Amino acid sequence: MSETNHSATPRRLFIKTYGCQMNVYDSERMRDVLAPLGYAPADTPEGADLVVLNTCHIREKATEKVYSELGQLKKLKQASGGRMTIAVAGCVAQAEGEEIMRRQPAVDLVLGPQAYHKLPEMVARVARFSGERLETGFETLEKFDALPTSRDADGPSAFLSVQEGCDKFCTFCVVPYTRGAEVSRPVDAITAEARSLAAQGVRDITLLGQNVNAWHGAAPALSGEAGEWSLGGLCRHLAMIGGVDRIRYTTSHPRDMDDDLIAAHGDTPELMPYLHLPVQSGSDGVLKAMNRAHTADHYLSIIEKVRAARPDIAIASDFIVGFPGEREEDFEATLQLVREVGYASAYSFRYSARPGTPAAEMFGHVPDDVAHDRLQRLQALLREQQQAFNASKVGQRVHVLVTGRGRLEGQLHGRSPWMQAVHFEGPDMLMGTIAEVEIVGASLNSLAGQLPARREVAA
Ligand code: SAH
Ligand code: SF4
Ligand code: F3S
């Protein structure tokens, strides 16, 4: 019997990801849509048939990296006799697609964050030397609909994109321009993807969105609930899927932190006690100029409510120092807010002017050395708090989701409910399980633990 071979020619795919978790998720999905064409992931760009740079536009440095990386890739492409296809995806692609093609002719394809499902078709166009090579439309729902809900999981933790885009227009930020308007993915598609992940052993799901708590959707008929759910309703729904033990979401905006979501932190044990709620600044004047649409007090009142619902919750944030017009007293208000909240972890950045954003036109440039000095002072305080938060777990037994092997022989590592990295000695069979670990040490970035000595069971 003759058999037709339908399997595609094996090809090598290298994807390099910059920026936020949305990009990490998107890179995984690009891998998924390219797999049926025979593309298998490679660890290095050397010898790859297709190289995708999934880029980030958020700060100037992030953008610059793309052009220097493309310079390197051009050489590899030449060495391959032109066989390598180079694609630029992500937020720089969206923001400056045409400029990329002009500045680096070695680039074959440019596609924005809403066009990944078109990647196979675009790759085919390059092979045919015909058709459009730039896709930067904004059909987010089309993208969500086109991506298969079955997934190949990689380990016990996974990202799941539920929302995209941003309507907030903070004056410093490019995201509303690169990712488009806020769009929520429907409950059924999210549930199907979560089930597919759980069936493959995923126990920990992080729901993603540029403003993830702006997510809202019609409650499914089968849930017996009428009307709209906010993210709180979605979390409770996903928590009922067998095998899904841990749910997180990121990144949220203070304006969308509604009472139902706060209540879910109290009534849904699967919702992990960790909240990344960026405040950016503690000064009301700066918050206003940033168009954050909340005051420092409003933010503090949200934190208070969240802590009332879930007393052990770890709070994280992002900060920007040196925003145009930021005075020393504004910066001190930020330090004061940090002292009041007590953060478990945080990201802090020097303001970077982004072309096309309103803040880039504002007066009151903060000199680099002043901004640098403020960043150092803020980071020193945040480090102190992070160290103290980690140290507070020493002596406790915590549930660690074991995600892999540690650096040392016989060591495993995993995550605490509060997102801390934990390493401890243990057998490989614990991989992918939730182990009870006694915390015996804490550093700035991780906890050291040990498996509790097993009690003798009387025969
Ligand atoms: N949607 C999220 C943040 C997305 S960007 C939110 O609203 O919180 C991630 C972080 O990058 C932001 O929280 C902010 O702290 C930082 N950031 C964004 N634009 C920036 C800029 N122009 N300069 C410096 N940091 C910036
Ligand atoms: Fe950017 Fe603000 Fe939207 Fe966050 S909420 S993505 S900081 S515009
Ligand atoms: Fe960067 Fe785009 Fe994410 S600009 S932070 S990759 S949304």
- Residue 1 pLDDT: 40
Q: Answer whether 160 contacts ligand 3 (Cβ < 6 A).
A: no
Tell me the fold of 6-141: Rossmann fold (3.40.50)
CATH number of 144-391: 3.80.30.20
Q: What share of the chain is helix, strand, coil (3-state, %, to 5)?
A: 40, 20, 40
The residue to mutate among 57, 178, 211, having the most atoms of ligand 2 within 8 angstroms of its beta carbon, is: 211
User: What is the spatial distance between Cα 302 and Cα 293, in angstroms, rounded to a whole number?
Assistant: 14
- Residue 199 pLDDT: 93
The structure tokens listed for 428 are 């490989």
- Residue 191 pLDDT: 95
* Under 8 Å between Cβ of 333 and 319: no
The structure tokens listed for 297 are 């007090």
- Residue 2 pLDDT: 41
The residue to mutate among 57, 116, 208, 349, having the most atoms of ligand 3 within 8 angstroms of its beta carbon, is: 57
| Partner residues linked to 399 by β-bridges | 436
Give the CB-side neighbour count of residue 22, counting CA atoms within 13 A. 26
- Residue 7 pLDDT: 57
User: What is the spatial distance between Cα 228 and Cα 133, in angstroms, rounded to a whole number?
Assistant: 40
- Residue 136 pLDDT: 74
Tell me the fold of 397-454: OB fold (Dihydrolipoamide Acetyltransferase, E2P) (2.40.50)
The residue to mutate among 175, 286, 319, having the most atoms of ligand 2 within 8 angstroms of its beta carbon, is: 175
DSSP codes, 163-219: EE------TT--HHHHH-S-EEPPHHHHHHHHHHHHHTT--EEEEE-TTGGG-EEEP
User: Among 274, 279, 258, which Cα is nearest to 312's?
Assistant: 274
- Residue 459 pLDDT: 44
- Residue 225 pLDDT: 73
User: Among 397, 380, 389, which Cα is nearest to 446's?
Assistant: 389
pLDDT averaged per 10 residues in sequence order, the chain, 459 residues? 54 95 92 90 92 95 90 92 92 92 92 87 78 70 69 84 94 94 93 94 96 92 80 96 96 96 97 98 98 97 98 98 98 98 98 96 96 98 98 97 91 97 96 96 97 64
* Under 8 Å between Cβ of 165 and 352: no
Q: Answer whether 176 contacts ligand 3 (Cβ < 6 A).
A: no
List the chain domain ranges.
6-141, 144-391, 397-454
Give the closest residue (by CA) to ligand 2 atom 2: 170
What pTM did the predictor assign? 0.92
* Under 8 Å between Cβ of 320 and 351: yes
Q: Answer whether 208 contacts ligand 3 (Cβ < 6 A).
A: no
Going across the sheet that includes 274-276, the strands are 274-276, 314-321, 345-350
Q: Answer whether 20 contacts ligand 3 (Cβ < 6 A).
A: yes
